[in-house]
């Protein structure tokens, strides 16, 4: 698995949004975000990879958190992970034509960032929440994820680096196109960093 190779960057004021292909569990940011379910008792995909890499103490802590509502997020320590913290976010299960799912997906990102900021976290890595087992089409989810990230960074300067870690080149390409479109429209003041193409 390729890791640590930044493919694309944009910024809002002094804060950077970065897209790269890789494994969320290997990221060295202060926190990584888990694509969890509301039990917070583990699962497959991102959740399985994070629990495997963190070791059994992570489950012991999340078991005591009392679950998490869809669209919300809760924080734990990172144990054996390179990241000090895990922010467990619960995205929605996709239903086409349901106007609530977009709001719940945006909320999962926004709440994760609020929890990060409240805990003094300056660098955070996100997976593409809800686009695996929960069935959210990546083409619909990517602009929601990126807009919510840019909106937050425009209002809160404490997060310096917000990284999206995409699992393969196809998902990365969708996020790259969505970011290009948002930069082109200067959404929330998004722009390319000085000296980048
Ligand atoms: N690093 C980065 N991205 C990954 C990784 C990884 N190690 N593994 C998968 N992805 P999913 P969801 C991508 O299913 O849709 C769990 O069982 C994957 O390709 O992990 O929010 C939980 O316990 C996809 O693009 O999360 C819940 O029950 C994206 O990450 C449920 O799945 C999200 O896929 C949550 O489903």
Per-residue pLDDT tens digits for 73-125: 999 999 999 999 999 999 999 999 898 999 999 999 999 999 999 999 999 99
The label of the residue with tokens 């890499």 reads 53
| pLDDT on residue 194 | 78
Examine the residue annotation and report whether 47 is marked as an active-site residue of this protein.
yes
What percent of the chain is modeled with pLDDT above 90?
92
Digit-coded pLDDT (tens) for 156-167 = 999 999 999 999
Which atom of ligand 1 is nearest the CA belonging to 49? Answer: 7
Q: How far apart are CA 174 and CA 3, in angstroms?
A: 18
Q: How far is CA 187 from CA 17, 140, 150, 184, 194, in A?
A: 13, 17, 8, 8, 17
Which atom of ligand 1 is nearest the CA belonging to 135? Answer: 15
Tokens matching residue 38: 């509301």
| Average model confidence (pLDDT) across the chain | 95
165 phi, psi to nearest 5 deg? -110, 105
Q: How far is CA 196 from CA 20, 88, 146, 161, in A?
A: 16, 33, 19, 16
Choose which CATH entry (3.40.220.10, 3.40.50.170, 3.40.50.2300, 3.40.50.300) describes domain 8-189.
Answer: 3.40.220.10
| pLDDT on residue 6 | 61
Strand partners, 90: 36
| 153 pLDDT higher than 60 | yes
| 7 pLDDT higher than 90 | no
Cα(58) to centroid of ligand 1, in Å?
A: 17
Q: Is the CB of 165 under 6 A from ligand 1?
A: yes
Confidence of residue 3 (pLDDT cuts 50, 70, 90): very low
Domains of the chain: which residue ranges? 8-189
Q: How far apart are CA 84 and CA 103, in angstroms?
A: 29
Kindly report the pTM of this predicted structure. 0.96
């Amino acid at each position: 698995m390729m890791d640590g190779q930044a493919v694309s960057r944009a910024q809002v004021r002094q804060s950077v949004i970065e897209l790269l292909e890789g494994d969320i569990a290997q990221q060295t940011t202060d926190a990584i975000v888990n694509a969890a379910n509301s039990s917070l008792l583990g699962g497959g995909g991102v959740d399985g990879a994070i629990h495997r890499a963190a070791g059994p103490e992570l489950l012991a802590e999340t078991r005591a958190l009392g679950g998490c509502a869809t669209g919300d997020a809760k924080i734990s320590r990172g144990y054996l992970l390179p990241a000090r913290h895990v922010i467990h976010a619960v995205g929605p299960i996709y239903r086409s034509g349901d106007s609530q799912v977009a709001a719940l997906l945006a909320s999962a990102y926004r709440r994760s960032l609020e929890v990060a900021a409240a805990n003094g976290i300056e660098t955070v890595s996100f997976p593409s929440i809800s686009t695996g087992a929960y069935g959210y089409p990546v083409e619909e989810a990517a602009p929601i994820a990126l807009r919510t990230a840019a909106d937050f960074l425009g209002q809160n300067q404490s997060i310096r680096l917000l990284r999206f870690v995409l699992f393969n080149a196809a998902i990365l390409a969708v996020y790259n196109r969505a970011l290009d479109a948002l930069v082109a429209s200067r959404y929330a003041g998004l722009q390319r960093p000085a000296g980048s193409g």
